[in-house]
Amino acid sequence: MSAEFAPPASMSKPAAWILAARPRTLVAAVVPVAVGTALAARAGKAQALPALAALLGAVLIQIGTNFVNDYYDFKKGADAERVGEARVSSQGLIAPGQVIAAAGLMGLLATGVGLYLASVGGWPIVAIGVASLLAGYAYTGGPYPLGYHGLGDVFVFVFFGLVAVGGTYFVQAGAVTVPVMLAAAAVGALGTNIIVVNNLRDVDTDVKVNKRTLAVRFGVRFTRAEYVALLALAVAVPPLLLALHQARAWVLLAWLALPLARAPLGLVLRERGRPLDRGLALTARLQAAFGLLLALGLWL
């Protein structure tokens, strides 16, 4: 490693890799698998090994995506005036080449997990796995990076909501139902709100590097309304499942997490820039609490 990328004495190499993995984003990988497995358990079709493999695969893809983002945001200069959590490539903590190599390793490991899941679930799991890996790379890499063209929100809603919950359920139950997709929409909505806060925080710096997120394209007012709308969608799903006789009253346990929405919602509606770092963490906490309570309520 050249001196240019020598990590500061204040941070060890293991700590730098943990920072690069962005642990607080991993809730977006864990919650969909928990919800999908809870739905499979309620249907009497839960399978431990496929569920654990789905969890491992989701975490590997999330970490790999984070490494890809770190590398390509550095290459594109998007981290030059970053106000959020430090990125290891731009801070000189880990050489960019090592970061992208680690992303490739995560992809290979996820592919290995996917081969097992494909042996259980067949060709639909192959399609899901390939699409997830490609989308994870294309979020900031490739000729048309999704995150730079306002498609990051759609990416998260689809792949960390609909695909992750639906795929987890499918690999255990062999089918996907309307209730599964409704629950997936709730999970995807809250996961997307993590990206919404991120983009709202970075809107001023993203403009300078031509990163055309929805916040940049449509402005702060739209972004705040998007956050509220996605939160409302998630909140509406439990009573809708109950009204459709697709869950017991226990599904309303998810609403016990709603007091956790007050603080991040207030920050999103009032603040810009660095104060939204806290809003990002609080939104991730809300997704974890709401999602895990939803999973419990669906299982009971």
User: Which tens digits make up the pLDDT trace of 17-55?
Assistant: 998 998 888 888 899 999 999 999 999 999 999 999 999
Residue 167: closest CA among 184, 179, 182, 152: 184
Long-range contacts of range 141-148, CB-CB < 8 Å, 24 or more positions apart? 141/68, 141/71, 141/72, 145/72, 147/69, 147/211, 147/213, 148/76, 148/210, 148/211, 148/212, 148/213
User: Which tens digits make up the pLDDT trace of 230-282?
Assistant: 999 999 999 999 999 989 999 999 999 999 999 999 999 999 888 898 999 99
Q: Which residue has the tokens 């496929």?
A: 50
User: DSSP character for 2?
Assistant: -
Answer left, alpha or beta for residue 150, where phi above 0 means left and psi between -120 and 50 means alpha: left
**Which has the higher per-residue pLDDT, 1 or 189?**
189
Residue 172: closest CA among 135, 217, 209, 125: 125
pLDDT of residue 148: 87
Q: Which residue has the tokens 């970053």?
A: 82
Average pLDDT over residues 210-220: 92
Name the residue ranges covered by the structural domains of the chain.
9-299
* CA distances for 295 relative to 121, 256, 288, 298, 300, angstroms: 22, 13, 10, 5, 9
Look over the chain and give the mean of its residue pLDDT values, rounded to a whole number.
89
| Range picked from 75-89, 123-137, 150-164, 182-196 for highest mean pLDDT | 182-196
Distance CA 124, CA 172 (A): 13
Distance CA 87, CA 94 (A): 9
Distance CA 201, CA 197 (A): 6
User: Which tens digits make up the pLDDT trace of 157-208?
Assistant: 999 899 999 999 999 999 999 999 999 999 999 999 999 999 999 998 888 8
User: DSSP character for 202?
Assistant: T
User: DSSP character for 143?
Assistant: S
Q: Find out whether 179 and 133 touch, Cβ atoms under 8 Å.
A: no
* Phi/psi of residue 111, nearest 5 degrees: -65, -40
Q: Find out whether 16 and 95 touch, Cβ atoms under 8 Å.
A: no
Fold of 9-299: Farnesyl Diphosphate Synthase (1.10.600)
pLDDT of residue 82: 55
Which class for 119: exposed (0-12), middle (13-18), buried (19 or more C-beta within 10 A)? exposed
